[in-house]
A and B are shown apart, each in its own frame.
Chain A
Amino acid sequence: MTTETLRTTVAARRTGVVTWARARPLVIHVVLAASALVMLYPVIWMVVSSLRPGNEIFRDPGILVKDLRIDNYRVGWNALSEPFTRYLLNSAVVVLGSILGNLVSCSMAAYAFARLEFAGKKFWFAIMLLSIMLPIHVVIVPQYILFSHAGWINTFLPLIVPKLLATDAFFVFLMVQFIRGIPRELDEAARIDGCGRGGIFLRVILPLMVPALATTTIFTFIWTWNDFFSQLIYLTDPHMYTVPVALRGFVDSTSSSSWGSMFAMSVVSLVPVFLAFLFGQRYLIKGIATTGIK
């Protein structure tokens, strides 16, 4: 890209004339690169600032690091009532439980909708699609009452059990779309070989829908990791705090002097999301594209 850019510029200088057709790709690249930089600048700056001494955050808008300081991380890790490791572990438990729940329950429901014929299927399918749009606020109050009667406040159960019951209908829809693309001849062949409904699901459909399962895993990971509203409501004991709830505690309890450590822990909380994005972007982009297009 750079050599090409250079060549275009040099050629342009030599002739003194730049035709629009020639300059266009260059202009587009400059505009795109500039907008990408503007978009990501605050995030990059946050990472850099977290590695600077405390008060620099309010003085240095640049993104050059002269000397790396990990003090903010050391201080931030132990700034709250529990070490940050505790919050990371809590989040990990909620995330793993949610992933497992979504994979099992959503794939089962999706198989039923995509492949099995049963009375009332169209009705349930419509309900499922509608439930994707349902605001969580409509159910949160009674859910809270229900789970508090069950003694589940300050446990991870209110966050995990709904996933075991396929309440993330978005993923059911995503998997239905995917299963529909698997040739039915494969089901027929397995049936002739003596497979029942369960056998076809376990031995034919599941292995072939690994890409959809991967998409579900990555989205569940990121969304649960970032989820704040339900974790804020159900987790009030600092011992049970997940990362987002703990970070929010930072906002409440700290003065401006500890922005450095707050930034540091924010960066820590973004690392898993960034890694999931880095390794899973193929599935993420395919996932939104297919559910958007049908």
Chain B
Amino acid sequence: MSALGELGSLRGKKTAGQKKDNLAGYLFLAPWLLGLFLITIGPMLASLYLSFTDYNLIQAPKWIGLDNFTRMLSDERLHNSLRVTFTYVFVSVPLQLAIALLLAVVLDRGVRGMAFYRSVFYLPSLLGSSVAIAILWRQVFGTTGLLNQLLDVVGIDGKGWISDPSTALGTLVVLNVWTFGSPMVIFLAGLRQIPSMYYEAASVDGAGTLRRFFSITLPLLTPIIFFNLVLQIIHAFQAFTQAFVVSGGSGGPSDSTMFFTLYLYDRGFGNFDMGYASAMAWFLLVIIGIFTAANFLLSKYWVFYDD
């Protein structure tokens, strides 16, 4: 559909009056363009400038060259926040996508009540980013929380999962994995597009369930896996609300849930160190850019395009 759309718009180019469309085109685009320059590109450039300054919102920004960036090199808390963020991204995203794919494949087999299960599994994706669920998580993984109450029933002594620095980040990983529903729905839609004749042909040739999955489903689904991977990685790098609320705004205990975004908030809006926060923001943009670019570069080795 996307390719057809492109073709259609190319055809339109030849017949339609170019001049009239220019005016109409930019008129319809006006709100978006205004937003692009005022709300997006303008502030982006401003934050690039601020990243080379010392600025506390009250006094005028003072140019300090690369000082913010050299400071980042020796900022232990920042290095820790990077470690926390990378751990979160590289543990939770693969787990989340693996579960999403597994359930999508199971549901795609024509399970009765499929629509019901799909809805139930999708619901956490909508709830997951709310403060209410973060509050729930705080309770569930607390010392006297739901999880420990349930463990107590089977005779296991739990612990304060959130107050222990070695498990606090784990509870946030669980929360992100819990929202596997939206990639699952995308996988399901992708599975629908695989022609059933491939499976029929494979069955005739005697291929079993596993063989069909690894030889047909997985290769044909790689573009969707790739799309989900790019999207979820970008998304996970920006996670904020859950860590903020679960840790009570501190990123604790002992900075174990201090995401890069939390530290940025702390510098910028906690200490009004706006220059440093801007430098951090651009650093985050570069990191996300590098990972997205790497994803695209690596994709040619494993993503399979049918057409």
- One digit per residue, 1 when the CB lies within 8 angstroms of any chain A CB and 0 when it does not, for chain B 43-67 equals 1101100100000010000000000
A-B contact pairs, 19 of them (CB 8 A): A32-B103, A42-B136, A105-B31, A115-B12, A138-B44, A139-B44, A146-B42, A146-B43, A172-B32, A226-B129, A244-B131, A244-B241, A251-B245, A251-B248, A262-B135, A266-B136, A284-B126, A292-B189, A293-B224
Query: A164 to B31, Cβ gap below 8 A?
Result: yes
A172 neighbours in B (Cβ, 8 Å): 32
Query: B227 to A141, Cβ gap below 8 A?
Result: no
Question: How far apart are A180's CB and chain B's nearest CB, in angstroms?
Answer: 3
Interface centre among A61, A121, A263, A273 (most CB of B within 10 A): A61
Query: A229 to B28, Cβ gap below 8 A?
Result: no
Question: How far apart are B27's CB and chain A's nearest CB, in angstroms?
Answer: 8
Please measure, in the bound complex, the distance between the C-alpha atom of A25 and the C-alpha atom of B244, giving whole angstroms: 42
Q: Given known contacts A1-B113, A32-B103, A281-B122, what 5 new A-B pairs fall within 8 Å (CB)? A: A139-B43, A177-B1, A181-B5, A266-B132, A281-B119
- Which residues of B253-270 are within 8 A (CB) of A? 261, 264-265, 268-269
Task: Choose one: A31, A36, A109; the contact of B120 (CB below 8 Å).
Answer: A36
Interface centre among A137, A197, A243, A263 (most CB of B within 10 A): A137
CB within 8 Å for A29 and B50 given contacts A135-B238, A285-B118: no
- Which residues of A280-294 are within 8 A (CB) of B? 281, 284-285, 288-290, 292-294
Query: A166 to B261, Cβ gap below 8 A?
Result: no
Query: A40 to B39, Cβ gap below 8 A?
Result: no
A293 neighbours in B (Cβ, 8 Å): 186, 189-190, 193, 224
Residue A270, interface by CB 8 Å: yes
Task: Choose one: B111, B186, B248; the contact of A252 (CB below 8 Å).
Answer: B248
Query: A277 to B126, Cβ gap below 8 A?
Result: yes
- Which residues of A162-219 are within 8 A (CB) of B? 162, 164-167, 169, 172, 177, 180-181, 184, 196-198, 201
Residue B112, interface by CB 8 Å: yes
Q: Residues on B close to A: CB < 8 A?
A: 1-2, 4-5, 8-9, 12-13, 16, 18, 20-22, 24-26, 28-36, 38-40, 42-44, 46-47, 50, 57, 103, 106-107, 109, 111-113, 117-124, 126-127, 129-133, 135-136, 138-140, 144-146, 149-150, 152-153, 178, 182, 185-186, 188-190, 193, 224, 227-228, 234, 237-238, 240-241, 244-245, 248-249, 261, 264-265, 268-269, 274, 277-278, 280-282, 284-285, 288, 292
Please measure, in the bound complex, the distance between the C-alpha atom of A278 and the C-alpha atom of B142, giving whole angstroms: 31
Query: B2 to A177, Cβ gap below 8 A?
Result: yes
- One digit per residue, 1 when the CB lies within 8 angstroms of any chain B CB and 0 when it does not, for chain A 107-142 equals 011011111111101001001100101111111111
Query: B144 to A58, Cβ gap below 8 A?
Result: yes
Question: How far apart are A199's CB and chain B's nearest CB, in angstroms?
Answer: 11
Query: B149 to A133, Cβ gap below 8 A?
Result: no
Question: How far apart are B160's CB and chain A's nearest CB, in angstroms?
Answer: 13
CB within 8 Å for A138 and B47 given contacts A42-B140, A229-B241, A289-B186: yes
A148 neighbours in B (Cβ, 8 Å): 57
